Structure 1
């Protein structure tokens, strides 16, 4: 078994020197996060559903019998509401009919033990720019929001805009990390010092937004533990090892 797990029992903080990110209740926690979809129709990418400047055209998938869109919130949250807004360009708003919304704690494409909660579905009749707001009663910390449009024929999924409201939540009591040697986080939101990689992992576990950390036992500085909420933000560095959260 590769990697290691951290079981939180006692929290010991070392000297925290820089903290850049905070999350405020009732903000759109999906803004600026990482979105993907089952396929891309022309240049209407998944990220456009998170940017209101694209709300008229939105994100668009290729035709499929099971089109989906997903956002990685890059952290763990308690969700208060999810609002989908239909596009307004031509008749694209019709391509959000019957879509349903669910939330998950892990990446369904990587993990076999994903927890999910169904939040609701869009009606079979949609008007241009119409908003559909869903509340989710998930009893677990949420990291992913997915919108799926099932159909018996090949159809697009078009979403004008997605707004996810919530606040930071504690991670599950176990976090699993897989080491990537000679990699260093390039965009940390917190820099501190620890005695071991395990201690660095414990600190990462305490921040709902931490999705990976880097640790070095050899650098001549007391800032040898770097926490990040970014995806693929590591750079080559022989004195560091990066530990992204992964599934076993």
Structure 2
């Protein structure tokens, strides 16, 4: 009997410990992070959606199509759930209707080879303070969470609060960079704009397809950063760095 009791106690203790570990590891990873949106109406900037004290009025974009909001988690995470809470003031809650949520590994405005995963969308009826929780099955480490309100005409996007639950993950970088001068990409897969060679290297590092790059200080500003999906061993160009 004593052996049986010890066995049952051990199983219960292990189960509780596992639950506690899951609870501790999953946390609000969006708190205090950097957020931006397609536009800002009045003083209702994107950061308000990450501060629950502003949940009543939230964040508000200008009249546009589409309207979007995104948070940079400033690191890579495995996301377990994302909860959107509708604002409660002035009937603005209706401007979260049909918004959809997706997660990405990179900023879509910086590089085209973004991995993304659709997580779900808000219903077409939203009441003030209503919460919508979505689970994401992304197979890649996530850095950005984006909320978009699609529309064929101009519209607002209003979000009372955003809570992103998850835990840290490692990003499997594939970028390749050797700090050599006088090299040139003969057939770039992407032409970008950069202020310096260092900035060009950062752009390459953020793009999964890029493994090498060249930068020219004398080329037009909108095509001075050339990205390659192959290691550069081509002709020398004294204008590159």
Q: How high is the TM-score relative to the length of structure 1?
A: 0.63
Corresponding residue number in structure 2 for 1:146: 146
Corresponding residue number in structure 2 for 1:246: 206
Deviation at 1:133, TM superposition (A): 0.1
Corresponding residue number in structure 1 for 2:160: 160
> Do the aligned residues in 2 keep the contact of 1:177 with 1:246 (CA within 8 Å)?
no
Larger Rg: 2
Between Structure 1 and Structure 2, the one with more strand by share is 1
Supply the distance in 1 between the matched residues of 2:177 and 2:84 (Cα, whole angstroms).
Answer: 33
Name the Cα RMSD after superposition. Answer: 2.0
Supply the distance in 2 between the matched residues of 1:158 and 1:66 (Cα, whole angstroms).
Answer: 13
Supply the distance in 1 between the matched residues of 2:89 and 2:177 (Cα, whole angstroms).
Answer: 43
Corresponding residue number in structure 1 for 2:65: 65
Change in 2 beyond 3 A, CA 1:177/1:66: farther
* Deviations, residues 112-163 of structure 1 (Å, cap 9, x unaligned): 1100000000000000000000000000000000000001221100000000
| Partner SS, residue 40 of structure 1 | coil
- Higher-RCO chain (CA-CA 8 Å, sequence separation at least 6): 1
Question: Could you list the runs of 4 or more consecutive aligned residues of structure 1 that deviate by over 4 angstroms after TM superposition?
Answer: 175-179, 241-245
Matching of residue 94 in structure 1 with residue 94 in structure 2: yes
Structure 1: gaps (5+ residues): 1-23, 180-240
Supply the distance in 1 between the matched residues of 2:107 and 2:172 (Cα, whole angstroms).
Answer: 14
Corresponding residue number in structure 2 for 1:74: 74
How many residue pairs match? The answer is 164
Matching of residue 171 in structure 1 with residue 171 in structure 2: yes
Corresponding residue number in structure 2 for 1:46: 46
Deviation at 1:176, TM superposition (A): 6.4
Supply the distance in 1 between the matched residues of 2:45 and 2:38 (Cα, whole angstroms).
Answer: 10
* Deviations, residues 193-228 of structure 1 (Å, cap 9, x unaligned): xxxxxxxxxxxxxxxxxxxxxxxxxxxxxxxxxxxx
Matching of residue 116 in structure 1 with residue 116 in structure 2: yes
Supply the distance in 2 between the matched residues of 1:168 and 1:93 (Cα, whole angstroms).
Answer: 32
* Deviations, residues 92-130 of structure 1 (Å, cap 9, x unaligned): 100000000000000100011100000000000000000
| Partner SS, residue 81 of structure 2 | strand
